[in-house]
């Protein structure tokens, strides 16, 4: 036997005591040790308070980002139990904070419905915090206990008296675990707005002591207000349709509103958790919607032959499906997809019944929705012809690729990059600068079509868009296939000026609306060309005005050149600053919040001029003047 085999015995089997396992493998519990994971700690603590609201015992939650780097979450719920546990002989709150899978969520008498990480949430927060303080108001007394990295630092003590109840958790994320300790106000704002919409009547206050900002979320109308908020920048064709049903401790709420656009937006939530990958609740909703609209169209004689497809009935649709169930089964620890098979039938049945009844009672709205769907069917046939035309065109062209594409020699997609370059001049420089083995260049003529305002048939008839679709290889819509992706990175490279930013936004709109899977898969990037070149014995490239000031002060010089565009750079400069993987800077594009992303693209690229003006006015101070 080898020495390694001889050493492998009982002594090799290690037991990770307490919460040590969480600290060893934090990403298993919170997704990452970066910004997303750090914010996940806040969500877990807040979810505990939301569970109190779901149980009918909490009306207000306060979240404070404190100057000392901590976050405090306080609610007016019942307060975590403080009495001694009969088996473990420690206060119940200590058990909840130091043991995995310990909590009231397993006792359905305490919580019929809950979110969070199935009872591991608050203990995970404790394990990954440098310091955590819990304060509880219960039975007329205020209790306090302190922890550090999952370990008890003080005994549970009574520190005062009170006439109300509630829980306050203050924690400092551990710098040994997280790569960043700064919280993003905007990320938290988006999440708490969703929670308020999904829990009508619950008040959530977010207070940033560092930036002296405060905002309160409160939605009496719940999902109706949510769908209105999403469609705020869109031309809607009906008032929100809303219904709510309850059966066997399962609650379903649905709000539906159509707009005159072409995009489909369905957002599913389970126990207030955003299931970004959908699941059985969303599938059940889609099935019922298609059936009800087809049945109504046939009944009224609008549809005589064939059926409207799912895509037809969902064009221009904004829908929120919120399910609250006792035992949710999620695929993946971070809860992105619901797996409960029984939920599909339940949602299908409820939506079929409620929507059919609504259509019968509101024929004018039903007529508008059916008309929208039949128009979509006609456009779908036109788009199919356009796609077929693209395929035929590719079949007869050399290798099926656009003539403008300077492809790379490496045929393995893992190591390859496609640069989408603004303008023929910059495209020429990029072709000379590139590494021909793994970097492909596709020059674009100016500003591409704004797909937010165009129907699919027009979009798929645009030469520049067809060239991109062909070069990337995956197809779009229902034909999208990530396995056919020809390049690992799709890099948008535009000038560092206002026009360049506009072109970048047009391209991102296209990817978000037609190839969002590429963004979700981490394949879309934006190049960051330098703004200035400073020459003093050698060249220094800087990428912001703030960096310019710092570098010029350090070098003691003002011989500064402002780059007006990529076309002004020589191929050597372009390679050194923007294309060389060892020296370049690129931004990875990802969808942090699909709801907010949809609203932003609609506002920036849609027809609501007033909303766009307000956005520009609000954010003008953060913009840099390009002279």
Is pLDDT of 294 > 80?
yes
Does residue 311 carry a catalytic annotation? no
The secondary element (H helix, E strand) that includes residue 283 is: helix 280-299
Is pLDDT of 333 > 90?
no
Q: What is the mean pLDDT of residues 25-47?
A: 89
Q: 292 or 337: whose pLDDT is higher? A: 292
- 518 confidence band (pLDDT: 50, 70, 90): very high
Does residue 36 carry a catalytic annotation? no
For residue 221, the 8-state DSSP code is: T
Question: What class has domain 20-217?
Answer: alpha beta
| CA atoms of 80 and 98, how far apart (whole Å) | 14
Question: What class has domain 223-379?
Answer: alpha beta
Is pLDDT of 15 > 70?
no
Q: What pLDDT, on the 0 to 100 scale, is given for residue 216?
A: 96
Q: Name the range with the highest mean pLDDT among 283-287, 463-467, 492-496.
A: 283-287
Q: What is the mean pLDDT of residues 199-224?
A: 94
From the list 184, 375, 497, 608, the catalytic residue is 497
Architecture category of domain 397-529+575-591 in CATH: 3-Layer(aba) Sandwich (3.40)
Does residue 44 carry a catalytic annotation? no
| pLDDT, tens digit (0-9, with 9 covering 90-100), for 611-620 | 777 776 666 5
From the list 499, 547, 596, 608, the catalytic residue is 499
| pLDDT, tens digit (0-9, with 9 covering 90-100), for 387-428 | 565 554 544 443 467 878 999 998 888 889 999 998 888 899
pLDDT, averaged across the chain: 85
Domain ranges of the chain: 20-217, 223-379, 397-529+575-591, 532-564
* Cα angle for residues 263, 264, 269 (degrees, 5° grid): 145
pTM of the prediction? 0.72
Residue 570, token pair as written in the block: 């020589």
Calculate the alpha carbon distances from 383 to 260, 378, 387, 461, 606 in Å.
18, 9, 6, 9, 21
Q: What is the mean pLDDT of residues 465-471?
A: 92
Does residue 375 carry a catalytic annotation? no
| CA atoms of 415 and 248, how far apart (whole Å) | 52
Q: 579 or 565: whose pLDDT is higher? A: 579
From the list 348, 495, 593, 598, the catalytic residue is 495
Is pLDDT of 178 > 90?
yes
| pLDDT, tens digit (0-9, with 9 covering 90-100), for 134-169 | 999 999 999 999 999 999 999 999 999 999 999 999
Is pLDDT of 596 > 90?
no
From the list 75, 76, 312, 422, the catalytic residue is 422
């Amino acid at each position: 036997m080898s020495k390694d085999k001889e050493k492998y015995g009982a002594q090799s089997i290690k037991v990770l005591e307490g919460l040590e396992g969480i600290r060893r493998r934090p990403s298993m519990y919170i997704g990452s040790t970066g910004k997303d994971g750090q914010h996940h700690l806040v969500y877990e603590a807040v979810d505990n308070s939301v569970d109190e609201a779901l149980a009918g015992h909490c009306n207000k939650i306060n979240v404070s980002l404190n100057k000392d780097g901590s976050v405090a979450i306080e609610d007016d719920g019942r307060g975590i139990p403080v009495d001694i546990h009969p088996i473990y002989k420690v206060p119940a709150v200590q058990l909840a904070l130091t043991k995995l899978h310990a909590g009231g969520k397993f006792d359905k008498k305490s919580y019929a419905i809950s979110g969070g990480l199935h009872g591991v949430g608050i203990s995970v927060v404790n394990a990954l915090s440098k310091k955590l303080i819990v304060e509880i108001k219960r039975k007329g007394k205020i209790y306090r206990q302190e922890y550090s990295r999952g370990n008890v630092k003080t005994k549970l003590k009574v520190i005062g008296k009170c006439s109300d109840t509630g829980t306050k958790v203050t924690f400092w994320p551990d710098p040994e675990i997280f790569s960043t300790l700064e919280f993003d106000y905007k990320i938290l704002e988006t999440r708490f707005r969703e929670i308020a919409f999904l829990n009508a009547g619950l008040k959530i206050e977010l207070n940033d002591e560092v930036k002296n900002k405060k905002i309160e979320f409160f939605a009496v109308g719940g999902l109706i207000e949510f769908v209105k908020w999403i469609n705020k920048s869109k031309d809607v064709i009906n008032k929100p349709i809303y219904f709510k049903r309850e059966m066997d401790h399962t609650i379903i709420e649905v709000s539906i509103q159509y707009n005159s656009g072409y995009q489909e937006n369905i957002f599913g939530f389970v126990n207030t958790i955003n299931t970004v990958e959908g699941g059985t609740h969303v599938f059940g909703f889609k099935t019922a919607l298609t059936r009800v609209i087809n049945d109504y169209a046939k009944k009224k004689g609008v549809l005589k032959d064939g059926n409207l497809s799912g895509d037809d009935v969902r064009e221009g649709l904004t829908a929120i499906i919120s399910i609250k169930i006792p035992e949710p089964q999620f695929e993946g620890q971070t809860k992105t997809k619901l797996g409960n098979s029984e939920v599909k039938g339940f949602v299908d049945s409820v939506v079929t019944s409620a929507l059919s009844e609504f259509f019968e009672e509101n024929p004018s709205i039903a007529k508008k929705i059916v008309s929208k769907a039949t128009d979509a069917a006609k456009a779908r046939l036109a788009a199919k012809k356009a796609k077929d035309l693209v395929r035929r065109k590719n079949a007869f062209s050399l290798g099926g690729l656009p003539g403008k594409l300077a492809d790379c020699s490496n045929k393995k997609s893992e190591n390859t990059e496609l640069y989408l370059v603004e303008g023929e001049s910059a495209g020429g420089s990029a072709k000379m600068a590139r590494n021909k083995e793994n970097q492909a260049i596709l020059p674009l003529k100016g500003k591409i079509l704004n797909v937010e305002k165009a129907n699919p048939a027009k979009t798929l008839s645009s030469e520049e868009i067809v060239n991109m679709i062909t070069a990337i290889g995956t197809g779009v819509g229902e034909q999208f296939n990530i396995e056919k992706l020809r390049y690992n990175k799709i890099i948008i490279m535009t000038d560092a000026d206002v026009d360049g930013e506009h072109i970048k936004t047009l391209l991102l709109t296209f990817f978000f609306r037609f190839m969002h899977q590429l963004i979700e898969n981490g394949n879309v990037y934006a190049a960051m060309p330098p703004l200035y070149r400073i020459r003093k014995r050698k060249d220094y490239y800087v990428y912001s005005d703030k960096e310019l000031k710092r570098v010029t002060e350090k070098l003691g010089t003002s011989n500064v050149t402002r780059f007006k565009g990529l076309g002004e750079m020589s191929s050597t400069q372009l390679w050194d600053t923007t294309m060389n993987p060892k020296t370049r800077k690129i931004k990875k594009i990802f969808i942090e919040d699909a709801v907010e992303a949809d609203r932003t693209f609609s506002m920036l690229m849609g027809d609501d001029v007033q909303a766009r003006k307000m956005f520009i006015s609000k954010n003008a101070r953060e913009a840099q003047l390009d002279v």
